[in-house]
Chains A and B, each alone.
Chain A
Amino acid sequence: MKASVVVFPGSNCDRDAAVALEAVMGRPPAMVWHGDAELPKSDLIVLPGGFSYGDYLRSGAMAAHSPVMREVIKRAQAGTPVLGICNGFQVLTEAGLLPGVLMRNATLKFICKDVHLKVERTDTAFTRHYAKREVVRFPIAHKDGSYFADEATLDRLEGEGQVAFRYCETDGRITAAANPNGSRRNIAGVYNETRTVLGLMPHPERLADAALGGTDGIKMFLSLVETLN
């Protein structure tokens, strides 16, 4: 399996993503500079977290128009799996690869803490290593993570099984108290229609190492390796 991690000016979780990928792939991913119009042959493209272009204008808005994104969009449309984490999720919505937008957190503050997530389906390339209805713990670290889409879109996402993760209690209940940022219907991550593009605000790569206090995140990368090898 070959993976590429796109590095935008202001990306800062690119190394974290690369470390998690290398741990499961046994070799490092290609780090691709945003200004490159060419993208190496990749079985997986990762858009990492960070503050591309300083979040100026809108989070992800400028990165979505980077030269490399034309190729990312082309590959995604051709079926190459794309994973966008945090700022990467914001870029994917701005690039039109995923529906909805990420707005300022309801608290208006940056929030960094562990949250619990319900894995909505386990038949995708990203989640097959999780158990059905498993509750996982991933950290969040964002200021603009409140997922928004209009009601019709939200209904469609739910109807088509495009909701990937929801913020939940430790026992899996979906409650307002478990929603850290005001996301509509507690949505933490969504798929595209073919479930080959995933964007999520929480960081699976940050709890993919027992020394850091948890390993729930590693299963996402193991799922990808198993699917794409």
Chain B
Amino acid sequence: MTVAARAAKGAHSITDETVAEHGLNADEYRRLLKELGREPSLTELGIFSVMWSEHCSYKSSRVWLKKLPTTGPQVIQGPGENAGVVDLGDGQAAVFKMESHNHPSYIEPYQGAATGVGGIMRDVFTMGARPVANMNALRFGAADHPKTRHLVGGVVSGIGDYGNCMGVPTVGGETNFDPRYNDNILVNAMTVGLVDANRIFKSAAKGVGLPVVYVGSKTGRDGIHGATMASAEFDEASEEKRPTVQVGDPFTEKLLLEACLELMAEDAIVAIQDMGAAGLTSSSVEMADKGGVGIDLNLDRVPCRESAMTAYEMMLSESQERMLMVLKPGGEAIAERIFRKWELDFAVIGITTDSGRLVVRHGGKVEADISLPALGAAAPQYQRPFTMRPKPAVIAPEDVPAPNSILGALETLMGSPHLCSRRWIWEQYDHMVMGDTIERPGGDAGIVRIHGTNKGLAISCDVTPRYCAADPTEGAKQAVAECWRNLTAVGADPLAITDCLNFGNPERPEIMGEFVGAVEGMAEACRALAFPVVSGNVSLYNETNGVAIPPTPAVGGVGLIPDIAKIARAKLAKEDDVLILIGAERGHLGQSLYQELAQGTTEGAPPPVDLDAELRTGNFVRGLIRAGDVSAVHDVSDGGLLVAIAEMALSGGVGAELDAPPQGLPAHAVWFGEDQSRYVIAAAPKHVARILQQAETASVPAKIVGKAKGRALKLPGEAPLSLDALRSRHEGWLPGFMAGG
């Protein structure tokens, strides 16, 4: 019998087994008994179990997260609210966050991914912002793993159906295929919203005697223990956890969005919190705890989808599309009118008190009575032991074998799962709804216009898992730097980031070491680039039978474009434009995609990031974009320089005649080396001398690598590679794979 079933039958004995089923260890249960001063009821045990779960309490990560820089003149709200907020000037602000939905998406890819998107959008509109753009960062297992196709199809369709119905454009993202994600895929979803800077809503329920209001969907039995499930490893029996996955209803969420924004335009709300992980429990506890008040809930008034739901089930349900609000006195009538108009459930289910306690009543009985600090401040905090692994050796360019043909290797790389076009994915996402999409998916960053203005928001999601696997610190640093670079490459001023820190089991010292290293790398890059973290989440226990995912600190960045007339795209579209590489060339092949192609594996140290050079180079490129001196810009990342040029050519439809590489480095290291902090720009011939001069003045390496010409890529001494042939390889892999070919 499951715990929920036992609860329904009213069997209330707390055994060791019951405690273990709730994910609490013996120490934690002793701590609970001390806090409570007596044995808990089953409902109380359930409430503690979710509030003290890794997912809600950040018990393993909190001490390290404090190391991340979270402030800056642009930051209006850092971590700690439903989402972070940055200033956009002119009285406007951007609200954004990225969140993981990894465990549910592996168990049930369609609903897992859909509700991930629904959850992150709620986090953003809870703060009063209208969501204006979505992104996602997806990691799947190897293409030849039997589950991968099913998972890709389900996740993409789930993300699409939810975001499309909501009418929020999905403007980009990233996808990796890697066998290390075979049994633990990652689905990280990001939403960016716009709000008037003086109309931001928060979650602190300040004030006693105020009505606590439930709005949105009814509460059902879905998602019970989702937060606990997301705080444990997987094993063979994990598929049996499918009932813990929530079911999404984007139509209801669209109504909830409109109703909330309509109510927020009135003067009725004191505090608002979405019911996400751990549902009614965490929303009520967090609001009361932050407001320094107590809260009394009467569950008899909770709108239920199913009959005879117990207090335990109602408190732990993760039914979607629900919000909890604390209203100003007399606000109920206004709220009820609006929610009735949108045909949503509305119920006053409680009141704020001065007791400092969470009191839950149901059927005339007190089902739970717990002091709020016991659930929040007294939650376990762990200084988990960690071991840092030795840094891998740097591999010399000469030690990676040369290909028979550079362009042949390029064609293979561009048609591989790593670098092939993601069109099959993003064409299933409505990326144009709201009528402000300036740069559609496929570029360095998605761009949406700030409605009614000439300003724009640039958004990018980045991390390179194989770099992080080799060296978590350098890899995390690179993730932040690449995100900053992608925003810069379209002409934006990078503002701040959100993060999803996806790791294995933190109770293993080597995994905890990866986490510690990654946080340190991120912190260093964020500080150097003045690119603080304003929101995010941590997803641990991404491992199955003791095998963990590579450390995957995904970074989602937002940048501001002062004038959308002055942006850059990657499109190489003008014949005779000169291609210039900006940034230092070292031919780093360790952990490169070329190395994997040539040797069947990646090894050695990832490319290091010189953060001073990153800043200098990026600021220089942004200056060129703003001055209108460049006709195309693309950052150099996975696959190196030649891949960057090939992507520019495919995007704009004009080929390139490339110069012979310089002496001193092997040609394949020049073309495929993944040295960081680099961009390729295209400029009209008349601007070239000046650009090179300005680069020298700015201490930024710059050199001509070729020119735009024809409909093929040409290298000295090699047969040309036609863009048509390259395009067919590049566009062909993913549709072919998904069709089962």
Contact = CB atoms under 8 A, between A and B. Distances in A.
Interface of A: 9-10, 12-13, 15-16, 19-20, 35, 49-51, 53-56, 109-113, 139, 141, 143, 203, 205-206, 209, 211-213
Shortest Cβ-Cβ A-B pairs, 7 listed = A12-B167, A54-B251, A16-B435, A51-B165, A141-B430, A112-B430, A110-B428
A109 B428 contact: yes
B165 A55 contact: yes
Given A12-B433, A13-B433, A211-B449, A111 B254 contact: no
Nearest to A49: B433
Contacts, number: 84
Nearest to B344: A9
Interface string B425-445: 011111111111110100000
A206 B166 CA distance: 17
Given A12-B433, A111-B428, A209-B435, 5 more contacts: A9-B255, A10-B165, A12-B166, A54-B254, A206-B435
B243 to A, nearest CB: 23
7 contacts: A15-B434, A54-B165, A54-B251, A55-B165, A55-B251, A110-B428, A211-B438
Nearest to A112: B430
A141 B157 contact: no
Interface in B337-364: 341-343
A205 B428 contact: no
A35 B426 CA distance: 35
B250 A109 contact: no
B431 A112 contact: yes
Interface of B: 157, 160-161, 164-167, 249-252, 254-255, 341-343, 426-438, 440, 449, 564
Interface centre among B164, B341, B431 (most CB of A within 10 A): B164
Given A54-B165, A110-B428, A112-B430, A10 B255 contact: yes
A53 B249 CA distance: 11
Given A110-B161, A111-B428, A10 B434 contact: no
Given A109-B428, A111-B427, A212-B435, A141 B164 contact: yes
Contacts of A209: 435
B251 A112 contact: no
Nearest to B253: A54
Nearest to A50: B167
Contacts of B167: 12-13, 50-51
A112 B427 contact: yes
A212 B437 contact: yes
A19 B165 contact: no
B110 to A, nearest CB: 13
A10 B428 contact: no
B577 to A, nearest CB: 20
A74 to B, nearest CB: 24
Contact of B251 (A10, A35, A139): A10
Contacts of B342: 9
A141 B433 contact: yes
Contacts of B252: 54
Interface centre among B426, B430, B431, B438 (most CB of A within 10 A): B430
Nearest to B254: A10
A55 B430 CA distance: 16
Contacts of B433: 12-13, 16, 49, 141, 206
A19 B430 CA distance: 18
A212 to B, nearest CB: 7
Contact of B432 (A20, A110, A206, A211): A206
Contact of A54 (B249, B426, B436): B249
A51 B164 contact: yes
B250 to A, nearest CB: 7
Nearest to B440: A213
A203 to B, nearest CB: 8
Contacts of A35: 341
Contacts of B432: 112, 139, 141, 203, 206, 212
A213 B436 CA distance: 11
Contacts of B157: 109-110
A222 B450 CA distance: 25
Contacts of B165: 10, 12, 51, 54-55
B660 to A, nearest CB: 37
A92 B440 CA distance: 30
Contacts of B564: 211
Contacts of A54: 165, 249-252, 254
Contacts of A111: 427-428
A113 to B, nearest CB: 5
Contact of A53 (B251, B431, B434): B251
A9 B435 contact: no
A206 B433 CA distance: 8
Contacts of B166: 12
A112 B428 contact: yes
Contacts of A112: 164, 426-432
Contacts of A141: 164, 430, 432-433
A20 B438 CA distance: 16
A107 B240 CA distance: 32
Contacts of B438: 211-212
Contacts of A15: 434-435
Contacts of A211: 438, 449, 564
B66 to A, nearest CB: 40
A35 B254 CA distance: 17
A51 B250 contact: yes
A229 to B, nearest CB: 24
A104 to B, nearest CB: 13
Contacts of B427: 111-113
B461 to A, nearest CB: 19
A16 B437 CA distance: 12
Contacts of B164: 51, 110, 112, 141, 143
A54 B564 CA distance: 34
A60 B497 CA distance: 40
Contacts of A56: 251
A203 B432 CA distance: 10
B249 A110 contact: no
Contacts of A55: 165, 251
A161 to B, nearest CB: 30
B343 A9 contact: yes
A206 B369 CA distance: 54
Contacts of B434: 15-16
Contacts of A109: 157, 428
Contacts of B160: 110
Given A10-B251, A54-B165, A111-B427, A19 B435 contact: yes
